Structure 1
């Protein structure tokens, strides 16, 4: 996520949209016809939808309209409209964001406070808008509505409510989900988060009472504002890595429960954390007389260098690798996955060329398929980790004697030069036509600066009229 005061609107991309709860995504709407987005270089950005989503910062939840830009380079950009409307404070020194709640207006104007007190209710009872089912050990966003309509859905400092679960007097009532406590404001389409921490599937019926919204007083707001400023440390990650997400499977509830029980005794195997085997120790046998191979690192783009360094830091932290002074070295390569992310790999081709290979009989695929003839379920093992951003502008030009190129980035209308490049033309290329030389300049410059903008969108500028 990126907080950008230069962005007019709050945006999300298609990937983040796909990760949202279906309860939220059903409110997708077409964007207003009078809104048009442009980058700093005035290139357009296409908006597919608008969506009202719950946003949480510092245990405070607000409903806010975001705009879906499918090809956005960040999953989410918090724009200036959100910052101004929600009074979001940005502490750059501590890399921390929090909500500031002004209280002087309420203290200095007691008459105004009495008017607001009479205008808005202190407590709202929230019930489920439509029937929803929550599988075991899962959390869902649930659309809720008040039993009495909100009198106002205008967000200001007087309309912050504390969310608490609704406690039923009847103890024999069906199992209920756990409601996440927090702070939120009245909204037209309101969603709250609920978790099923039991072993059985929970079905919540439409109209079922779920939570209570209690309007917060001035003392509560002052206390939370003080704690938010003081507590700048990030909360620890308390997610359970051993709970499998079976929401997108075709298994029945009974089968899901059986599968959870099957993997539960092996938390060290079925986890998102990388593991280490003690069953064997790998050994590489080198051909006799081979000198150590020390290959230099490959040239790569700055964004890829950051990915490589992040992977190295993670493996060092988890003690998968250790610093080494070995005379052997192989370069890192990033291989694209099916989901368009990048896999950290090592190019061991030079090492493999001098390695004594192991002889091992490979099973026949037809024998393997025959062995699965009576199987009802087939599973595969997926080993975890088994194996800034402004657009670039490339300006090129060509003359009878040579080629030239300038790589730059533009931000807020100002150009920042990254690198220059030029070369002379041999006698054969000097015989090219002017259009051919301009085309040659584009091909040569993109190859030369390829590591800077690999897998990124770039803009090429040329004065050749044939390419306009």
Structure 2
């Protein structure tokens, strides 16, 4: 019996196998878990139904959500299984339920039903529009989108889920480079349609067996492996509290760049005419590094390609001590015509009152 569930924050297909005594998870699924726990070494020896050895990479406690009910249970990670997640007797022991084979459903306690479905894809992340896109009537365009907080690269399936009036999003098999995802949109109306920046178009999905996720530098060493509290003065409960707090906000400290769609900054230049400066020449020995860094920033959604703007400022290349470069912009002409808003800020000393000073009585 197979059905959908949410494992570690990722929706994927689950296979219930009463012939297995343990819960198993494919490594490609474990690599994309949103709340990924540390992988611990295990001495358990597993075998397949044919009594062949089944190599295990480790064991981790992962949350499983079914029909609104969340339970944390152990999963053994392996690269040698051909399903995303396999639930064994450990699952049945943790979640009392009734398996209804005739009705093709799993009934959890109390009276929560999980329908049996067939699926074989794992969601990599949401697909977001990089910039405002205007689609002319009756046209089909390939627009740039990206996946925030994801290092996935390779072939994947774009599955639209947005409902936009006058626009048809085409499900397609795409090749993902960095965070860049090409998406096909069609304007089926008689009027131009604008897709706003930061709009969510759909999900990027990848087949577990056919398209395993490549191991990246960020996945090799996690903050859990780097964190060492053994030499601290914290007690065991305090150490556990620190680790729980960091795990709660793990997406903030995972080393990847995030974003918020709630605020959009606007530079007020008033009635000033646009300014444009000529591009500066890049030294030949830096051209390769500059191109690679610009491509990385475009793929990550930091920069956007814009060929129709009347504003233009040259870039400045700054060398770092480690040999890498930093891309900066010379915005002095823009700053000269920018209206800077004024905000009343409190002085640092005005937010607190010294306790050793005498209280002054001020008559009113």
TM-score calculated relative to the size of structure 2: 0.34
Say which structure is richer in strand.
2
Please identify the structure whose Cα radius of gyration is greater.
Answer: 1
User: TM (normalized to structure 1)?
Assistant: 0.27
